[in-house]
Chain A
Amino acid sequence: MTERLFTLAVWMSAALVAVVLVWVIGDLVRLGIPHLSLDFLFAAPRDAGRNGGIGPILVSTVLIIGVTLTAALPLGLMAAVWLAEFTTRGHALGKAIRLSLDVMAGVPSIVFGLFGNAFFSIYLGMGFSILSGGLTLACMILPVFIRTCEVGLAAVTDTWRQGAAALGMTRTAAIWHVLLPAASPAIAAGMVLGIGRATAETAALIFTSGYVDRMPESLWDSGRSLAVHIYDLSMNISGGDTAADAAALVLITLIVLFNMLAQWLSDRWLHRRLVA
């Protein structure tokens, strides 16, 4: 009896989540599709975004995420390797860093925005720029990315470390050829989380990459991300709602595309590690 009830509860919960998800996405598609066209994707916004399109904004978004990943991936992987492979249990510095990462993972993104503004924009003189925004987002996603990768590496069985050492392989070779590929599902999961958060972020970008909706000419230009654009349209611009719905639909598609790309890249990399 309880078995039946439990099974029912599990199915109901799953169904509820699915229904909510389908509703939200269905609503967006219903409201956004009429406004969506190739022209909308490529044209520059007019009337503060009520008309025209989101061309420059898409470009800025891709550039910002590009900067974020270029900075966060290598740095995060190295940090995770250091935490998982170079600190033993009870290592004081390792413990302190783990704790601060966990605290930083819970810090609201607006705080990262203020930090990015003070550090990248003002102190390092990057001003309001795609570079400054991308690096701020990198800081924001690093804590979760590092910890996800670290946990993935720590879960890799010790017998492979011993096996590699017993074959006279260096620790670097063991990490690069055996441990990282073995941890790649965790690394991919960390990347998906990070990309999702970065693409949806507004608060951390307003003070760093700014909200100029012109086509950026370089990474030093200010650029408006899609999430900022949606926020602006729905909060500040009267009559911007249909454009906001269409842009939101594009944003969701973009997140899915980014994740597919990340998956494809990590599969390809993995395939090369594993087989070639």
Chain B
Amino acid sequence: MTNYSESPYTLGSIDEAVACCAPKPQLKVRALSVSYGDRRVLETVSMDIYRGCITALIGPSGCGKTSLLTSINRLTDMLPSARVEGSVCFEGQEILDTTVDTLRLRRRIGMIFQKPNPFPISIRRNLELPLREHGVRKRSERASRAEQALRDVGLWEEVKERLDSSALSLSGGQQQRLCIARALVLEPEILLMDEPCSALDPISSAVVEELILRLRGRYTIVIVTHNLAQAKRVANYAGFFWMTERVGKLIEFGQCQRLFDTPAHALTQAYVDGVRG
């Protein structure tokens, strides 16, 4: 476990984070396709998500990155028109199997959304509600886990005096960190982050980015981002998506550094250059 210091962060410094030298795949995505009605938006994506690493998904809007994330935590079940084919294997278990307990699955795979979405209730209750729903009966345990999660995201010192005020009174960046804490409080193994910084101002964005770096090693993270510089700064692996004939495809996947420096595919090269210049 990590050493807890007096700093607002309790996850240890960035340098201590586990390096991904001998990565093991934790999620195996195979031939995954997503359609809404009869419109296919994502076709035959295959990739491995490595334990403890940060995987960045990049590519233009509309090429199915969000759809890929919501297939992994089965949030697509909420959309009657969504159909997901293929296979996602999570520690030997098939996620797309209809018999999977999605409530348990979503406890193990948390998700952070583009727009911070804290519930319109108190800061404390935002964190304790999911715990209670997952059967943590003891009030004292809920309180201590909530505090730990707030410390983990560096929010404790900022909010400890006003835990009972509405979560909506926080700033955008604080709200997003609260949402991350709300996911962490359930002790997930994987975090899916859908453009977590794109609704935030530059300073809040930098704070959240630093937090994401601190989470590396303890959690497996899949992050969608339009900020290529950010992807380069945080990610160990990167996947580049592109639309051909209005269907999203995974064009290239590999180590982040490699993908940016020596892209194997002309489209990747063009996207990386185009956004850069």
Contacts and interface: CB of A to CB of B under 8 A. Distances in A.
Which among B73, B110, B120, B182 has the highest number of chain A CB atoms within 10 Å?
A: B120
B110 to A, nearest CB: 7
B106 A167 contact: yes
Contact of B133 (A163, A169, A275): A169
A182 interface: yes
Contact of B120 (A166, A173, A181): A181
A7 interface: no
A275 B125 contact: yes
Interface string A249-276: 0000000000000000000000001111
B122 A168 contact: no
Nearest to A178: B119
Contact of A162 (B78, B107, B121, B124): B78
A177 interface: yes
Interface string B140-180: 00000000000000000000000010100000000000010
Interface in B95-124: 102-107, 110-111, 113, 115, 117-122, 124
Contacts of A173: 129, 133
A173 B133 CA distance: 7
Contacts of B183: 166-167
B30 to A, nearest CB: 23
Nearest to A184: B120
B115 A159 contact: yes
Interface in A39-85: none
Interface residues of B, number: 32
Q: Give chain A's interface secondary structure class.
A: helix
B127 to A, nearest CB: 10
A160 B121 CA distance: 11
B80 interface: yes
Contacts of B166: 274
Interface of B: 73, 75, 78, 80, 102-107, 110-111, 113, 115, 117-122, 124-125, 129-130, 133-134, 164, 166, 179, 182-183, 186
30 contacts: A157-B117, A159-B113, A159-B117, A163-B113, A163-B119, A164-B119, A165-B78, A165-B106, A166-B111, A167-B110, A167-B130, A167-B183, A168-B102, A168-B104, A168-B134, A168-B186, A169-B129, A169-B130, A170-B133, A177-B119, A178-B119, A178-B129, A182-B119, A182-B120, A273-B121, A274-B120, A274-B122, A274-B125, A275-B125, A276-B125
